[in-house]
Amino acid sequence: MSSLGARAACRLCPAAFGSRRAHVGSAFRPARVAVVDKTTRYEFEQQRYRYAGLSEEDLRELLALKGSNYNGLLERHNIHTSNVQHVLNSLRNEGIDVQLVKRREYNEEIVRWADAIISAGGDGTMLLASSKVLDRLKPVIGVNTDPERSEGHLCLPVRYTYSFPEALQKLYRGGSGVRESGFILKELVSTLHLWIYMNSN
């Protein structure tokens, strides 16, 4: 695993869920969360040709000439955005202040503002989100927003994509839950620890 991947893996560990600003007692209770949103292929193609003033039908025909399926790209985009909205609603229902930022807008100022970072995408978005976080106590949590097409090895188990409130409740109990599972808490751990913890009863 690359050094960047190792840093991302480290930040996924429940041992990191203890920011001084974010926790109450031993609980992980962030007041502010930044959600880093990937750019879907559909969005990329839209942005690529937006200055040409193409209509949606023009875009459909252009993609067909390139051998791409417009309907398929739009479907994957809609699945992603629906799952991102589920994460946003779940956080806001907990009274958490949320900023949604696209990958290109994600910077150190956003990181300083947030108590925790959530990457909404796949492993690439997770690695980007983690790469800008220098505080080892600030958690970075990956949500795979298109699990039918992406493995998301650095992300939470797939079931939490569709039931993020359950993930939040379990992460709130992170530290004590891991100790009960018999894990030794260290700064450097593999993502396997979180996978086992999040899949435990």
The 10s digit of each residue's pLDDT in 8-37 is 444 444 333 333 344 434 567 889 999 999
Say if residues 195 and 116 touch (Cβ distance below 8 Å).
no
What pairs with residue 142 in β-bridges? 119
b/e map 50-62, b = 16+ CB within 10 Å: eeeebeeeebbeb
Mean pLDDT of the chain: 76
Q: What proportion of the chain, given as a percentage, has pLDDT over 90?
A: 35
CA dist., res. 88 & res. 117, Å (int): 12
The 10s digit of each residue's pLDDT in 44-78 is 888 887 777 778 888 888 888 888 888 888 899 99
Q: What proportion of the chain, given as a percentage, has pLDDT over 70?
A: 72
128 closest CA partner among 154, 151, 109: 154
- What does pTM read for this prediction? 0.73
